[in-house]
């Protein structure tokens, strides 16, 4: 993707083009994502910086300073292009050009951002309760409002259909025309759903919520069908909120980030727990043999085996 294609819809931001890796390290990590080709690891969080590592040796390649805090990351499924959700809106990082560009049509930030499977559309479920659909050049295609202005916290595309599932204090499914397909609450009390992901088969999706463990409201991990049928519920195994969940590529295991790294079977059986503090970011390697986690507490980045054994600490 060449940067000049973006210019009608994007405004250039302050960025680091020095080609030199920064000597400091990420802090307060919110998002940890590996590119579709498996070559690049991106991190972002409260320091308003996107950090890019090469996954062959986990060396820091480049850091890019943004104008606001990073809340979500999504790699394009076919190109070395990273969509960045910030507290102010959306930015695009084009790796070949080493440039970060601001999407001028989006003025509201959020933490929920995702490309559709073909990479033709990008969804931002924003903090004002609006689902924004853009093309890969950054042109706004559609704004989809829901029945209230409660902030969206998560979004994901169906792996084969242009259907989006969103999470706030309820689950809503839309098609890209803006039609609401389904709305339901995942529990009786209004507890925020921070993360939601379709299974690679498209047969169901998993969600993880905030819970309020200290108030006696257990954190939930659930599996749901598209029609609103609850398939499985795992209650109270995490003592803090599920910040991110990720299926491995063949759909046999689910990794969850909360008070620890946990790995689950497709059927919802807990396979392993790795004590790791406050884990917020999580990603699977392309070959599904490793997980990469990012910590909000201290910014540590760790590499784990698929069975939950610590392999190394990146920093």
The answer to whether residue 81 scores a pLDDT higher than 80 is yes
Residue 212 pLDDT exceeds 50 = yes
The yes-or-no verdict on residue 115 having pLDDT over 90 is yes
Instruction: Give the residue-averaged pLDDT of 143-149.
Output: 95
166-179 residue pLDDT tens: 999 999 999 999 99
* Alpha carbon distances (Å) from 234 to 156, 238, 242, 265, 315: 21, 9, 12, 12, 32
User: In this predicted structure, what is the pLDDT of residue 10?
Assistant: 55
pLDDT at 71 over 80: yes
**What are the backbone angles phi and psi of residue 190, rounded to the nearest 5°?**
-80, 85
What average pLDDT does this structure show over 275-281? 87
CA distances from 80 to 2, 50, 145 (A): 11, 14, 31
Range with lowest mean pLDDT among 36-50, 108-122, 202-216? 202-216
| Residue 45 to residue 111: CA distance in whole angstroms | 10
Percent share of the chain, pLDDT over 70: 92
Integer Rg of the chain from CA: 18
Q: Is the pLDDT of residue 86 over 50?
A: yes
| pTM recorded for the entire structure | 0.92
For the segment 85-100, the average pLDDT, to the nearest whole number, is 96
pLDDT at 80 > cutoff 80: yes
Task: Return d(Cα 235, Cα 82) in angstroms, integer.
Answer: 34
CB contact burial 55-76 (16+ within 10 A = b; e otherwise): beeeebebbbebeebbbbbbbb
| Average pLDDT estimate for 265-278 | 92
Mean pLDDT of 155-171: 97
Residue 1: pLDDT above 50?
A: no
Instruction: State how far the alpha carbon of 74 is from the alpha carbons of 34, 164, 263, in Å.
Output: 9, 15, 22
Q: In whole numbers, what is the pLDDT of the chain averaged over residues?
A: 92
Q: 13-31: per-residue pLDDT in tens?
A: 444 433 344 447 898 999 9
Whole-angstrom Cα distance, residue 12 to residue 300?
30
The reported pLDDT for the residue numbered 142 is: 97
Integer Cα distance of 86 and 48 in angstroms: 8
Q: What percent of the chain has pLDDT over 90?
A: 87
């Amino acid at each position: 993707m060449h940067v000049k294609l973006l210019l009608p819809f994007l405004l250039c931001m302050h960025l680091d083009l020095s080609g030199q890796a920064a000597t400091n390290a990420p802090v307060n990590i919110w998002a940890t994502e590996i590119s579709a080709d498996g070559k690049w690891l991106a991190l972002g969080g409260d320091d308003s910086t996107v950090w890019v590592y090469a996954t062959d040796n986990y060396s820091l390649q480049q850091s890019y300073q943004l104008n606001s805090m990073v809340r979500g990351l999504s790699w394009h499924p076919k190109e070395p292009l990273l969509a960045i959700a910030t507290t102010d809106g959306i930015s695009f990082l084009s790796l070949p050009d080493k440039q970060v560009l601001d999407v001028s049509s989006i003025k509201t930030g959020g933490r929920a951002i995702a490309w559709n499977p073909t990479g033709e559309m990008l969804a931002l479920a924003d903090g004002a309760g609006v689902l924004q659909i853009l093309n890969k050049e950054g042109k706004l295609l559609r704004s989809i409002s829901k029945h209230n202005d409660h902030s969206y916290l998560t979004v994901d595309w169906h792996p084969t259909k242009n259907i989006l599932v969103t999470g706030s204090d309820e689950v809503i499914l839309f098609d890209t025309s803006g039609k609401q397909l389904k709305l339901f609450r995942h529990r009786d009390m209004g507890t925020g759903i921070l993360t939601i992901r379709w299974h690679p088969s498209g047969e169901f999706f998993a969600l993880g919520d905030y819970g309020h463990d200290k108030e006696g409201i257990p954190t939930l991990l659930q599996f749901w069908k598209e029609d609103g049928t609850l398939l499985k519920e795992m209650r109270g195994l995490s003592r803090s909120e599920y910040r991110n969940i990720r299926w491995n590529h063949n759909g046999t295991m689910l990794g969850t980030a909360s008070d620890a790294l946990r790995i689950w079977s497709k059927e919802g059986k807990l396979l392993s727990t790795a004590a790791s503090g406050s884990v917020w970011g999580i990603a699977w390697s392309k070959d599904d043999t490793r997980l990469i986690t990012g910590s909000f507490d201290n910014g540590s980045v760790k590499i784990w085996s698929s069975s939950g054994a610590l392999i190394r600490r990146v920093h």
